[in-house]
Amino acid sequence: MFVTLTANPSVDRTIEVDRLIRGELHRATGAHVQPGGKGINVARALVRNGLKARAVVPAGGADGDHLISLLHAYNIDVVRVRTAEPVRSNISVVEPDATVTKVNESGPHLSGAELETLCDTLMSHVADAEWVVVAGSLPPGAGEDFYADLIARLAPTGAQVVVDTSGPAFRTSVKAGPALVKPNLDELEEAVGRQLDTVRDVVDAAQELRALGAGKVLASLGSKGAVLVEEAGVWCANASAEPRSSVGAGDAMLAGFLAAGGSGPQALATAVAWGAAAVSLPGSTMPGPEDVGARRVRVDPRPEWDEKVRE
């Protein structure tokens, strides 16, 4: 069983336009409303591919009711924690070249009691979990050590903990010793405090995170694929994709990595295949087996160290 916690979920609306021009009226060419949040996306991708996933989410108000109804449509085992303030709504505007302009609300302020209930609820639903994914931004009211404290509480359960977040909460979480972290390039740069231009730079930064406490680092690099750094080795992987929307692609990548065992080059290949499939789909649609298919992935056990990782 895979269990995910999305501390600041959302109802996501994705609008497709021919071209985004500031200050102009636009006619949408497509629109999609989907449940949002990194942990939720991971659960959606896993379930679409025949695996069992449980999503723990704080959800208040009418928008929270909407979020839960959307999740039930995906056959996810949903555990709701009711909150006083409503779930946030996010808007993504996507252009034909897959350029995404996002407007994210900050989310509801959760009280100390609500945060404690959220943690207690998660702890009561991980007895059968092999992996626990704590992911996404923190809601107002949560301190930067929220995920780090959860990692410490989860340690006696034997479940492997994955962290996918950003900012101060990410670096604090790394020090708590998660089994896996999945930063994108910007998040990795923020964590180590410098710009990363090459594969060597990314690997060096990932090794710094491992020295701080992370077991494995899966770094997503957009169209450049991904880099996996773990005790057994370093691998790079890439796959071609016809881009439509990058929203949620990193979450699909993480789901694919976990679905394939969460370690080694084969898991990395699966991760990149799922991520490339997600990029080819509208909105934050998670890929199923029919989307991943026989997608070709190139895995390199001897990376080109000086290869650029930016567009």
Single out the catalytic residue among 197, 251, 291, 300. Answer: 251
Q: How far apart are the first and last CA of the chain?
A: 37
Apex 275 CA angle, 15 and 200, nearest 5: 120
SS (H, E, C) the chain: CEEEEECCCEEEEEEECCCCCCCCCCCCCEEEEEEECHHHHHHHHHHHCCCCEEEEEECCHHHHHHHHHHHHCCCCEEEEECCCCCCEEEEEEECCCCCEEEEECCCCCCCHHHHHHHHHHHHCCCCCCCEEEEECCCCCCCCCCHHHHHHHHHHHHCCEEEEECCHHHHHHHHHCCCCEECCEHHHHHHHHCCCCCEHHHHHHHHHHHHHHCCCEEEEECHHHCEEEEECCEEEEEECCCCCCCCCCHHHHHHHHHHHCCCCHHHHHHHHHHHHHHHHCCCCCCCCCHHHHCCCCCEEECCCCCCCECCC
Q: Is 251 a catalytic residue?
A: yes
Active site residues: 251
